[in-house]
C-alpha cells in the first residue's frame, strides 16, 4: 500500500472531478479496511480531502453533493482510528469548522455524513483540544436528536446520536453531563420508530455512555435493559404470502406497521430446494432463510448487553437483570446465524468475568493459581459458570465457523487470565478445553477443514493464511490463559502443547515463529519451577531463535531465555551455556527495534540473578547500564532493578565498583513517567537510593 499512496494522493488532486470522485470512493474502502497502513500518508490525504471539500462546496449540484458526502465518509474512516496528536493539532480546527457548517446543508445525507465525521474528529482531537468547539457542535447536532420523518431523516438522527456518543467519549462524563439525560431519553424513544438502523444506533450509544459513566450510568439501566430484552425476545412472524417469494423480500423479511414478517418459503420453493440439494442436506433451509434484520439487531443487542454489564452493573444490578437475561441469551447460542452465536457466547463470558470481579472486590481476596482451588467461589458465581461452560462446550469443539471459535478462544483466554482457575473446575471444562486447543493448534478442528483451496492447506512449516492463523493465535492465547490460571500445575499440560508450539517456533512464517516463542516465554513465566523438566528441549530452540532474521522473534527469544534460566533448577543445562548465550545477546543491546534492547537487558539481569558470580557481573552489567533507563518495555525494569538490589544486598564487589554509574540511573527511573516502575520495584529502588546516597 505504501507504493500506492502517492498515486492515491495524486488522483485525489486530479484536475478531472470524475477522477477525484472515484479516488474518494476508493479511499473510503481502503480506510475502512486498512486504516493503520494509511498512517504514513495521513497529512497528504487530509490536505487533499480538504481541497476536494472546498472545491465541491463552491456550487450545489448532485455530483458535488456526492463529493461532499464522500469527503466526510473518508474523514470518518481515516480520523476515526485516531491520528497522531501533532497532526490533529494542525488539522483538527481546519476539519471541525467546515464539518460544522455542513450540519446546515440542505441535503440530509450531507448532514448525516458530516455528523459522523465530527464524532470521529472529536474523538481523535481529545477532550481538551475539542473543548472550544464542544458547545457549538452539541447545539448544532442537538436539533436533529429527536427528528422524525422519512428514512433519510431517521438516518440523519442515527448519525447524530452515534456522533454524540463518540463526543461523550472524547470530552468525558462531567462535560457531557448536561446532555446525557435528554440524549438517553431520545434513544429510548427511538426504539418505537420503524428504523432498524436507529434502533442499532441507540444500542451502540448505550454501550458508549456506559463506558463513559461507569457505575454512574445506573440511573438509565431500567430503560436500557428493557430495550435490550425486548430486542432479544423478538421473532419474525413467518407467513406464506400468495404471489410473494422469499427471494422477493429484502433478507426474506417485510415490515408491516412496525411488525417484522418473515416470508415463508412456498411449497414450490421447498420442493425445488430438495430436488437440487437432496432431502438430507439441511443447508438449503439456511440459504432460504438468510440473515434477517432481527438477527443483526440481536447480535448488536448482545454485544451492548456485555458492555453495559461490564462497565455499569454492580452486584445489585447483576442480581436484578442477569438472571432474566440468561433466559434470553442462552437460546441464541444455538442460533443459525453465526453472529448471534458469537455475540451470545462473548456476552456470557464477559458477564461471568464481571460478576467474578465484583465478588473479588467485595471479598478483597485475589484468586490463587492451581487446582484444587485455594478459595471457594460464591454459589451464584458457580451456577453462572455452569451455564457459561455448558453453552461453550456445546459449540467449541464442533462449530465450523472460524469467527465463532475465534471469539470463544478470545473470551476463554481473557477470563482465565482475569478470573483464574475456578471456571476450569466445572464439569468437563478442563479436559474439553485441552482437547479443543489440541485440535486447533494442529489444524484438525472442523472450522479449519473448509479452506476450499488445497493450496491453502499448509502445515506449520509452510505457514498459514491470515484467516487460518487468527484462530490458531487465539487458541495459543487460551494456552497462556491455562498457564496463568494453573501456575506450576500447568507443567503437566505443557506436555500436550509443547510439540505443536515448538513446531510453530520453527515455521517459515515470522509471525508464527515470534508468536510461538512469545507463548513459550509466558508459559515458562507462569509454570515457574515446573519448567525444569523441559529445559533440555526448550533451550536449544530458544538459543537458535536469538539469530532469527525477524527482530520480534529475536526479542521474544531473549525474553524467553531469561525466564527459562531464572525459573529452571536444571543449572547443569543452563549455566554451561552462559558464554554462548551472552555472545549472542551483547550485540543485540544496541538494536533499537521490537524492544530488543529492553528484553536483552532483562534477560542478562535474570541470568545474573540466577548466577550472581562477581566475574559475570563485572563482565556484563556495565553494558546493560549503558542502555538504562529503558525507554519502551517498562515491564523489564522489574528483573533489572531486582538484580541490582540483590547484588548490593549480597555485597557483591563487582556492583559496588559501579555505584557512581548506577545511582544517577536509579534517580532517573524514579522520575516521571510514573509507569516506569511497579510499586514493589519502586520501593526497592527508593530503598537502594537511600542506602547509596
Beta strand 237-239 with 259-263 is parallel
Min mean pLDDT across 60-74, 202-216, 237-251, 488-502 is at 237-251
221-244 residue pLDDT tens: 999 999 999 999 987 655 455 555
Separation between Cα atoms, residue 329 and residue 321, nearest integer Å: 12
Q: Which pLDDT band holds residue 290 (cuts at 50, 70, 90)?
A: low
DSSP codes, 243-257: T--GGGSGGGEEEET
For 269-289, the three-class secondary structure string (H helix, E strand, C coil) is HHHHHHHHHCCCCCHHHHHHH
pLDDT given at position 594: 94
pLDDT given at position 259: 45
Q: How big is the chain, counted in residues?
A: 693
Q: Does residue 285 surpass a pLDDT of 50?
A: no
CA dihedral 623, 629, 634, 638 (to 10 degrees): 70
pLDDT given at position 282: 46
Strand partners, 255: 260
Omega prior to 359 cis, within 30 of 0: no
Q: Mean pLDDT, to the nearest integer, of 147-161?
A: 96
Separation between Cα atoms, residue 186 and residue 173, nearest integer Å: 18
Task: Please write down the long-range contacts of 584-590, taking CB distance under 8 Å and 24 or more positions apart.
Answer: 584/543, 584/546, 584/547, 585/546, 585/558, 586/620, 586/623, 588/546, 588/554, 588/558, 589/623, 589/624, 589/626, 589/627, 590/627
531-556 residue pLDDT tens: 999 999 999 999 999 999 999 999 99
309-337 residue pLDDT tens: 999 999 999 999 999 999 999 999 999 99
pLDDT given at position 271: 53
What sections of 313-461 are H helices per DSSP? 315-329, 338-363, 379-396, 402-419, 429-441
Q: Work out the mean pLDDT of the chain and round it to a whole number.
A: 90
Q: Does residue 161 surpass a pLDDT of 80?
A: yes
Short-list 532, 540, 536, 502, CA closest to 519: 502
Q: Does residue 251 surpass a pLDDT of 90?
A: no
What sections of 487-577 are H helices per DSSP? 490-505, 510-527, 535-545, 551-567, 571-574
pLDDT given at position 277: 46
Q: Does residue 78 surpass a pLDDT of 90?
A: no
| Sign of the alpha-carbon dihedral angle for 76, 81, 84, 89 | positive
- Is the Cβ–Cβ distance between 521 and 639 less than 8 Å? no
Burial class (CB in 10 A: 0-12, 13-18, 19+), 246: buried
Short-list 247, 292, 250, 251, CA closest to 266: 247
Separation between Cα atoms, residue 66 and residue 280, nearest integer Å: 49
Q: Tell me which CATH code domain 5-171 carries.
A: 1.25.10.10
Residue with cell 461507569: 214
Phi, psi of 582 (to 5 degrees): -65, -35
Separation between Cα atoms, residue 546 and residue 558, nearest integer Å: 7
Phi, psi of 81 (to 5 degrees): -80, -5
- Is the Cβ–Cβ distance between 290 and 269 less than 8 Å? no
pLDDT given at position 267: 59
| Sign of the alpha-carbon dihedral angle for 286, 291, 296, 297 | negative
pLDDT given at position 281: 47
Q: Which of 31-35, 82-86, 246-250, 585-589 has the highest mean pLDDT?
A: 585-589
pLDDT given at position 252: 53
Fold match, 5-171 / 425-692? yes
Separation between Cα atoms, residue 45 and residue 550, nearest integer Å: 31
CA dihedral 526, 528, 533, 534 (to 10 degrees): 40
Q: Which pLDDT band holds residue 61 (cuts at 50, 70, 90)?
A: confident
- What is the grid cell recorded at 197? 438502523
User: What DSSP state is assigned to residue 576?
Assistant: G
pLDDT given at position 287: 46
Q: Does residue 508 surpass a pLDDT of 70?
A: yes
Give the count of beta carbons closer than 10 Å to the beta carbon of residue 499: 11
Burial class (CB in 10 A: 0-12, 13-18, 19+), 77: buried
- What is the grid cell recorded at 155? 438516518
pLDDT given at position 89: 82
pLDDT given at position 454: 40
164-193 residue pLDDT tens: 999 999 999 999 999 999 999 999 999 999
pLDDT > 90: percent of the chain? 79
User: What DSSP state is assigned to residue 239?
Assistant: E
Question: Higher confidence at residue 413 or residue 275?
Answer: 413
pLDDT given at position 88: 84
Q: Does residue 163 surpass a pLDDT of 90?
A: yes
Q: Does residue 256 surpass a pLDDT of 50?
A: no
Q: Which pLDDT band holds residue 383 (cuts at 50, 70, 90)?
A: very high
Q: Give one word for 374, left, alpha or beta, with left for phi > 0 and alpha for psi -120 to 50.
A: alpha
- Domain residue ranges of the chain, discontinuous segments joined by +: 5-171, 246-289, 425-692
Separation between Cα atoms, residue 108 and residue 113, nearest integer Å: 9
Q: Mean pLDDT, to the nearest integer, of 60-79?
A: 87
- What is the grid cell recorded at 480? 497462556
561-608 residue pLDDT tens: 999 999 999 999 999 999 999 999 999 999 999 999 999 999 999 999
pLDDT given at position 458: 46
Q: Tell me which CATH code domain 425-692 carries.
A: 1.25.10.10
Q: What residues have CB less than 8 Å from 662, skipping those under 6 apart?
A: 625, 644, 655, 692
- What is the grid cell recorded at 4? 500506492
Q: Which pLDDT band holds residue 36 (cuts at 50, 70, 90)?
A: confident
Separation between Cα atoms, residue 215 and residue 211, nearest integer Å: 9
628-667 residue pLDDT tens: 999 999 999 999 999 999 999 999 999 999 999 999 999 9
pTM of the predicted protein model: 0.89
- Is the Cβ–Cβ distance between 526 and 421 less than 8 Å? no
- What is the grid cell recorded at 507? 515455521
- Is the Cβ–Cβ distance between 48 and 6 less than 8 Å? no
Phi, psi of 269 (to 5 degrees): -65, -40
Q: Mean pLDDT, to the nearest integer, of 282-301?
A: 72
Amino acid at each position: 500500500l505504501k507504493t500506492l499512496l502517492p498515486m492515491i494522493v495524486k488522483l485525489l488532486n486530479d484536475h478531472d472531478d470524475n477522477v477525484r470522485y472515484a479516488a474518494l470512493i476508493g479511499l473510503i474502502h481502503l480506510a475502512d479496511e486498512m486504516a493503520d497502513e494509511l498512517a504514513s500518508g495521513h497529512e497528504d490525504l487530509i490536505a487533499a480531502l480538504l481541497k476536494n471539500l472546498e472545491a465541491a462546496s463552491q456550487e450545489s449540484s448532485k455530483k458535488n453533493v456526492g463529493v461532499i458526502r464522500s469527503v466526510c465518509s473518508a474523514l470518518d474512516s481515516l480520523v476515526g482510528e485516531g491520528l497522531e496528536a501533532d497532526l490533529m493539532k494542525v488539522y483538527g480546527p481546519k476539519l471541525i469548522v467546515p464539518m460544522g457548517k455542513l450540519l446546515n446543508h440542505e441535503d440530509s445525507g450531507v448532514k448525516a455524513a458530516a455528523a459522523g465525521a465530527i464524532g470521529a474528529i472529536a474523538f481523535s482531537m481529545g477532550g481538551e483540544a475539542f473543548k472550544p468547539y464542544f458547545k457549538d457542535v452539541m447545539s448544532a447536532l442537538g436539533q436533529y436528536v429527536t427528528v422524525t420523518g422519512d428514512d433519510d431523516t431517521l438516518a440523519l438522527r442515527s448519525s447524530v446520536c452515534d456522533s454524540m456518543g463518540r463526543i461523550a467519549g472524547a470530552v468525558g462524563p462531567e462535560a457531557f453531563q448536561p446532555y446525557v439525560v435528554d440524549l438517553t431519553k431520545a434513544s429510548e424513544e427511538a426504539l418505537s420508530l420503524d428504523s432498524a438502523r436507529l434502533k442499532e444506533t441507540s444500542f451502540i450509544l448505550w454501550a458508549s455512555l456506559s463506558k463513559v459513566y461507569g457505575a454512574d450510568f445506573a440511573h438509565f439501566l431500567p430503560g436500557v435493559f428493557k430495550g435490550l430484552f425486548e430486542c432479544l425476545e423478538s421473532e419474525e412472524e413467518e407467513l406464506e404470502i400468495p404471489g410473494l417469494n422469499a427471494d422477493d423480500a429484502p433478507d426474506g423479511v417485510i415490515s408491516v406497521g412496525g411488525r417484522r414478517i418473515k416470508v415463508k418459503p412456498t411449497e414450490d420453493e421447498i420442493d425445488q430446494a430438495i430436488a437440487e440439494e437432496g432431502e438430507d442436506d439441511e443447508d438449503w433451509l439456511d440459504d432460504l432463510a438468510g440473515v434477517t434484520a432481527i438477527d443483526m439487531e440481536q447480535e448488536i443487542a448482545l454485544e451492548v448487553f456485555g458492555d453495559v454489564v461490564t462497565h455499569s452493573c454492580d452486584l445489585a444490578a447483576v442480581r436484578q437483570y442477569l438472571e432474566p437475561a440468561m433466559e434470553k441469551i442462552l437460546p441464541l447460542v444455538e442460533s443459525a446465524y453465526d453472529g448471534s452465536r458469537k455475540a451470545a457466547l462473548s456476552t456470557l463470558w464477559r458477564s461471568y468475568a464481571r460478576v467474578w470481579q465484583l465478588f473479588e472486590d467485595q471479598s478483597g481476596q485475589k484468586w490463587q493459581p492451581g487446582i484444587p482451588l485455594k478459595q471457594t467461589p460464591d454459589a451464584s458465581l458457580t451456577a453462572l459458570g455452569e451455564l457459561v461452560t455448558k453453552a461453550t462446550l456445546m459449540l467449541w469443539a464442533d462449530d465450523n465457523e472460524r469467527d465463532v471459535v475465534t471469539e470463544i478462544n478470545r473470551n476463554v483466554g481473557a477470563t482465565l487470565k482475569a478470573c483464574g482457575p475456578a471456571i476450569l473446575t466445572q464439569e468437563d471444562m478442563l479436559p474439553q478445553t485441552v482437547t479443543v486447543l489440541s485440535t486447533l493448534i494442529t489444524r484438525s478442528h472442523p472450522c479449519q477443514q473448509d479452506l476450499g483451496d488445497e493450496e491453502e492447506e499448509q502445515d506449520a512449516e509452510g505457514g498459514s493464511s491470515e484467516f487460518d492463523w487468527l484462530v490458531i493465535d487465539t487458541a495459543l492465547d487460551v494456552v497462556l490463559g491455562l498457564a496463568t490460571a494453573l501456575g506450576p500445575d500447568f507443567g503437566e499440560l505443557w506436555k500436550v502443547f509443547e510439540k505443536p508450539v515448538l513446531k510453530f517456533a520453527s515455521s517459515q512464517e515470522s509471525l508464527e515463529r515470534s508468536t510461538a516463542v512469545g507463548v513459550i516465554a509466558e508459559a515458562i513465566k507462569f509454570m515457574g519451577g515446573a519448567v525444569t523438566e523441559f529445559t533440555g528441549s526448550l533451550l536449544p530452540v530458544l538459543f537458535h531463535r536469538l539469530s532469527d532474521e525477524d527482530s520480534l522473534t529475536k526479542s521474544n527469544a531473549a525474553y524467553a531465555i531469561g525466564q527459562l534460566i531464572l525459573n529452571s533448577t536444571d543449572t547443569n543445562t543452563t549455566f554451561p551455556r552462559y558464554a554462548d548465550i551472552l555472545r549472542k545477546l551483547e550485540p543485540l543491546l544496541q538494536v533499537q527495534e521490537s524492544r530488543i534492547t529492553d528484553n536483552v537487558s532483562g534477560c542478562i539481569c535474570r541470568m545474573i540473578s540466577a548466577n550472581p558470580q562477581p566475574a559475570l557481573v563485572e563482565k556484563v552489567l556495565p553494558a546493560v547500564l549503558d542502555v538504562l533507563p529503558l525507554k519502551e518495555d517498562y515491564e523489564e525494569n522489574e528483573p533489572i532493578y531486582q538484580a541490582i538490589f540483590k547484588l548490593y544486598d549480597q555485597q557483591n564487589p563487582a556492583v559496588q565498583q559501579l555505584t557512581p554509574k548506577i545511582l544517577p540511573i536509579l534517580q532517573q527511573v524514579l522520575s516521571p513517567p510514573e509507569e516506569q516502575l511497579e510499586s514493589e520495584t519502586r520501593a526497592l529502588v527508593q530503598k537502594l537510593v537511600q542506602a547509596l546516597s
